[in-house]
Amino acid sequence: MIAKKRFAVPFIIWIIAGTVIPLASIAYYGFTSRSGGFTFANITAMFQHDHMQALGLSLLLALISTVICLVLAFPMAMVLRGSKYGKQGFLIFVIILPMWMNFLLRTMAWQVLLERQGVINSILVAMGLPRQEMMNTPGAIVLGMVYDFLPFMILPIYNTVSKIDNHLIEASYDLGASRVKTFTSVVLPLSVPGIVSGVTMVFIPALTTFVISNMLGGGKINLIGNIIEQEFTVNSNWYLGSGLSLVMMVFIIASMLLLQKFDKTGGENLI
Amino acid sequence: MRKIFGRVYVVIIMLFLYLPILALIVLSFNEAKSMSVWKGFSLRWYEELFHSKLMVQAIANTFSIAILAALIATIIGTLAVLGLAAMKPRTETVLMGFNNIPMLNADIVTGIALMLFFLMFHWPRGYLTVLFSHTVFCIPYVILSVKPRLNKNTDKLFEAALDLGASERYAFRKIVLPELRPGIMSGFLLSFTMSVDDFIITYFTRGAGINTISTLIYSQVKVGIRPSLFALSTIVFVTALVVLVAVNLRQKRIDAKQAY
């Protein structure tokens, strides 16, 4: 046997020091008050008006972005599936390339386009149209999320639809099913694993982001990620920050469980 | 009809993906500081970028952390794959569950979790805490890349080599390593890109004194966008383009060779 249990020792140390203890410390701080006693106050703080508003807005914007990504990605994945081998490689290359650019720079690009003195407004003015206030709106944040996360939706969906056997689709036509029927009864059910991994890969980062809302919301629109980030970096209230993170993690875990239910490949779609 | 729709659709998505980047590239050569007036071609923002000591330091930090983190993660991850194979299926499943956590978890949670860990154990935040954190989120990718390469056949060949008198070390180098190599390589490269690209976890685990490219961009954007960041965008984009083209061409050559 090449395999020896002791080879996994550094890995287990890393899991304990890098994952188990750090996550346990969020739980510890989340249930501890500033004076050191046990409390639920950091958890129930989520029900405060500001926090509820931020959580609600995060869920809403993350949901909208995820739906837009899904609607944009599915036809793209189908086009990819239908194209010839060489062209397919080129298209995948073109979709992956922006992912290699730092996502802060990609988000900044939208700031440059949308700003009051930005590119789109100067084009509008040159055409004799009035300036638009596009920055610091929820719409700008959604746009940023869709732009940053779209490839994460396209690739997993493409991975599953490309494996759908053409014979199944032909059989469906031969048996008299219409295009729509074939899509809803054959293609769509077979692409569920890809859709689910795409949805989690877009929904979780969109729900928890503080960068996109900070850059395109101008610090005026608070998402739950912004609230948590500020508790840690500005207010140094780790107790409250941890408590709110624990509540946020409920949503993350729910999406993970959903992923596990549908995706039996053990996370291979995620790479 | 369908074909035309497909073509138009692809073009629209491409425009959506690339127009913003194109805007940055054009503006990086603009003499004026403004984002709306073109005042003529200039390389002054590239000059400003490379004269910034902060930026040069950040670039050095980003790449040294990425190389070290990818290296450490590759070694620990590859060893872990060999270790996991010797364990009971149940133990293996549990450990793989833990392995997937940093990959599936939101980066902000991983970031603050590690930050609290460093604070609790009074580990002053700086280069080393960032490096450690990067190894934490890189290891899962290495394991998921290497694990599928290890199969029953590898084990038999290894045993055969031992029976034929090879030392364990020699058999490992000649039999096991070549089998795992593609997985190890892709694990390393994946880790490297994840590390270079990371902002959120670095943001929470770095001290005040150290910057990577990402954290520096973030602090500069907060103060006000300077065109030197457009120059940086152009360089990053062109580098990514060149690297990806090179990788693709190499892959094509390998595919062509295997076709014989």
Q: What is the pLDDT of residues B162-217, one digit of tens each?
A: 899 888 889 888 888 888 999 999 999 999 999 999 999 999 999 888 999 999 99
Is the Cβ pair A103, B135 closer than 8 Å?
no
Kindly state whether residue A8 falls inside one of the protein's structural domains: no
In whole angstroms, what is the distance from residue B249 CA to residue B257 CA? 12
Quickly state the pLDDT bin for B255 (edges 50, 70, 90): confident
Give which of A62, A141, A15, A127 is closest to B100, Cα–Cα.
A15
Out of B101, B190, B217, closest to residue A102 by CB:
B217
Which of A102, A111, A231, A239 would you mutate first to test chain B, the one with the most B CBs within 10 A? A102
Quickly state the pLDDT bin for B253 (edges 50, 70, 90): confident
Q: Which two tokens stand for residue A219?
A: 């610090």
Q: How does DSSP assign B122-147, residue by residue?
A: T---SHHHHHHHHHHHHHHHHHHHHG
Is the Cβ pair A252, B135 closer than 8 Å?
no
Phi, psi of B226 (to 5 degrees): -105, 150
pLDDT at A266 > cutoff 70: no
In whole angstroms, what is the distance from residue B99 CA to residue B80 CA? 10
Kindly state whether residue A158 falls inside one of the protein's structural domains: yes
Tell me, what's the pLDDT at B208?
84
Name the average pLDDT for chain B.
91
Total structural domains within chain A: 1
Is the Cβ pair A91, B108 closer than 8 Å?
no
In three-state secondary structure terms, A271 is coil
Q: Which pairs count as long-range contacts for A228-231, CB under 8 Å and 24+ apart, including other chains?
A: A228/B108, A228/B112, A229/B108
CATH fold of the domain at B54-225: MetI-like fold (1.10.3720)
- Determine the straight-line distance between the first and last CA of chain A, rounded to whole angstroms: 29
Domain that holds residue A221: 45-101+137-270
Interaxial angle between packed helices A119-126 and A103-114, expressed in degrees from 0 to 180 and rounded to the nearest 10: 30
- B217 to chain A: which residues are within 8 Å by CB? 102, 104-105, 108
**How far B60 CA lies from chain A's nearest CA (Å)?**
16
Tell me, what's the pLDDT at A88?
86
Quickly state the pLDDT bin for A21 (edges 50, 70, 90): very high
pLDDT at A267 > cutoff 60: no
Are the C-beta atoms of B158 and B215 separated by less than 8 Å?
no
Which of B36, B107, B120, B172 would you mutate first to test chain A, the one with the most A CBs within 10 A? B36
Give which of B221, B228, B237 is closest to B51, Cα–Cα.
B228
Kindly state whether residue A236 falls inside one of the protein's structural domains: yes
pLDDT at A261 > cutoff 80: no
Q: Which residue of A has its CA nearest to B156?
A: A1
pLDDT at B66 > cutoff 60: yes
Is the Cβ pair B112, A4 closer than 8 Å?
no
Are the C-beta atoms of B133 and B114 separated by less than 8 Å?
yes
- A110-153 per-position pLDDT tens digit: 999 998 888 888 888 888 888 888 888 999 999 999 999 999 99
Domain boundaries, chain B: 1-42+227-260, 54-225
Give which of B98, B40, B30 is closest to A13, Cα–Cα.
B98
Kindly state whether residue A168 falls inside one of the protein's structural domains: yes
Size of the A and B interface in Cβ pairs below 8 Å: 243
The amino acid sitting at A148 is D
- Tell me the sheet residues that pair with A32: A38
* Stretch A171-197: mean pLDDT: 90
pLDDT at A27 > cutoff 90: yes
Out of A93, A208, A252, closest to residue B244 by CB:
A93
CATH number of the domain encompassing residue A255 = 1.10.3720.10
Q: By the CB < 8 Å criterion, does A79 face chain B?
A: yes
Q: By the CB < 8 Å criterion, does A58 face chain B?
A: no
